[in-house]
Amino acid sequence: MEGFRSAYLTIAEARARIEELVALSKSYWAEKPGAFGTTRDDAFPGKLVHIFTIQRQLPDRCHTIVSGILQDLRHALDQAASASVFALTGEDRRDTHFPLARTQADFQRLRPKLETIQHVDVVDTIARHRPFGDSNPLLYALTLANQSKHRRLIEATTHLSQRSCFMSGDLTKGEIRMIVPTVDTPRGDFAVLALSDEAVNAVVTEASMMLIIAFARDVDGLAGMPAPDTMLTLSSEVELIVQDIEAATRSVAC
């Protein structure tokens, strides 16, 4: 089934972008773009706060890479849905989209969009993956447009992280801080990812904010959340869904 092959190739393209992002992360931190400091913070009485300040701008192409990854993975799901339609009906319906939604109720509302597949087994296969945000933030990250989907991917990493985290502040005022427990600080202390005034202009997009958090995991002592790894997990999950749709389609077609 040629349409499914296209979906797998699109996933492979997304993984190539992820590899590029990881390489960019390593080179960025090799140039030591920031520094650690410690302070007391009124928001956390009695807690010693470790602050890592980003002082150098992120590479301009970071936003493009992240957007490309998410677009590729979203497109792969749409390709799989279209391939199923073609295999079962002979109709070239490239406007068939994989239904993603914020809640299960939204998913049920969008489900009729899959009626062109014309076989309940395939639609039920998709439904079993529960592709809506309240149970699967990774998949829901693909439903949002432009910068919003990057914000959702930040939230998705929270669900995967083994450590609790807290983010607050106003990005436009240079007050964003990412707070996570560190492995090498006394119990109850925090590590804070803060932005200098110079760096604020470089992180005016949610995509860049996500990348800063991703890069922070390479800093000694800061237990940042593995955003590139999260995207790799997302690519594997998308591939699994494509495989299941293909298997269900083949079983019906035969």
pLDDT along the chain (254 residues), means of 10: 91 94 76 68 63 65 76 92 93 84 83 84 89 71 56 49 46 49 50 53 43 45 48 88 96 87
pLDDT at 135: 66
* Exposure b/e, 14-29, CB count within 10 A at least 16 = b: bbebbeebbebbeebe
pLDDT at 219: 38
* Cβ within 8 Å of residue 72, ≥6 positions away: 10, 11, 13, 14, 17
pLDDT at 38: 67
Q: How many domains does the chain have?
A: 1
pLDDT at 204: 35
179 burial (CB, 10 Å; 0-12 / 13-18 / 19+) is buried
- Does the pTM surpass 0.85? The reply is no
Domain of 44, in residue numbers? 2-253
